[in-house]
Amino acid sequence: MAELKNILSENKDGILYLTINQESKLNALKISTLEDIKNIFNEVNDNKSIHAVILTGAGEKAFVAGADIDEIAELNELNARKFSEIGQETFDLIETCHKPVIAVVNGYALGGGCELAMACHLRVASSNAMFGQPEVNLGLIPGYGGTQRLTLLIGKTKALELLMTGDMIGAEEAKDLGLINHVLPTKEAAIAKAEEIIHKIRSKAPLAIGMIVDCVNSVHADEENGYQIEANSFARCVKSEDYLEGTAAFREKRQPNFKGE
């Protein structure tokens, strides 16, 4: 893996634990952190030693409190567009990853932090998590896909309210709105819950998991027909060894042993 500047990375039993590590600034995202994320996710799909990713923030107070405002404050029109596009491309790599990516949200997930969590497939939060898109307070709007993903996840009515007011919401409300999957009392419990989900997903057919990601993402890809992608993926499944294994195991009343082939 390429050398990382702002992220701690550790592979334990096939789970890649990534920790955004800039605690003194509440793990604010620098451009160089986006480069780290890009380097990591360019490798995850093809790296056979990685089965899943858990992404969290260092410490107890913040997941990520937004893009680094010291960098944002220096933008002009030309590099602002680039800034937004780099963030969008980086987060797309997470969203389209064929292995499960879970955000463990351990505190503030604001601005780019909320956008980062929303790009992950699933979100498990500790009870002190706070979510919001406060860019309007800076005379800005979200630039890393937040206007799109928030609307998809919680619907236009509530998305417009959060985006226009810049209000923060707590973990329970985020769960009620469908923004996150689970709330646990502590960061440790949230990590344990994420691991439990990953272990369950790991017992399923890996090729099918990747295809589910593609099909679900195609819901909001204008240039693609999601039903067609689903039918094509379904047809590709039956060419896999895992399809033969899964159906045989059911008939033989035993657990399947999937190989991702």
Residue ranges in contact with ligand COA by CB under 6 A: 25-26, 28, 65-70, 72, 108, 110-112, 134-135, 137-138
Which residue out of 135, 172, 173, 261 is catalytically annotated? 135
The CB-of-10 to ligand COA minimum distance in angstroms stands at: 25
CB atoms within 10 A of CB 112: 27
Q: Are 97 and 52 in contact (CB under 8 A)?
A: no
CA distance 83 to 60: 28
Q: Shortest gap between Cβ of 69 and ligand COA (angstroms)? A: 4
Instruction: Name which of 8 and 141 has its Cβ closer to ligand COA.
Output: 141
Dihedral angle computed from the Cα positions of residues 183, 187, 190 and 191, in that order, rounded to the nearest 10 degrees: 160
The per-residue DSSP string of 30-43 comes to PHHHHHHHHHHHHH
* Residue 245 known to be catalytic: no
Q: Which of 3, 43, 77, 115 is catalytic?
A: 115
In whole angstroms, what is the distance from residue 110 CA to residue 159 CA?
14
Distance in Å, CB of 68 to ligand COA, minimum: 5
Q: Least separation, in Å, of the C-beta of 84 and ligand COA? A: 11
Determine whether 35 is an active site residue: no
List Cβ neighbours of 160 (8 Å cut-off, separation of 6 or more): none
Q: Which two tokens stand for residue 203?
A: 């017992």
Could you give the residue numbers annotated as active site? 115, 135
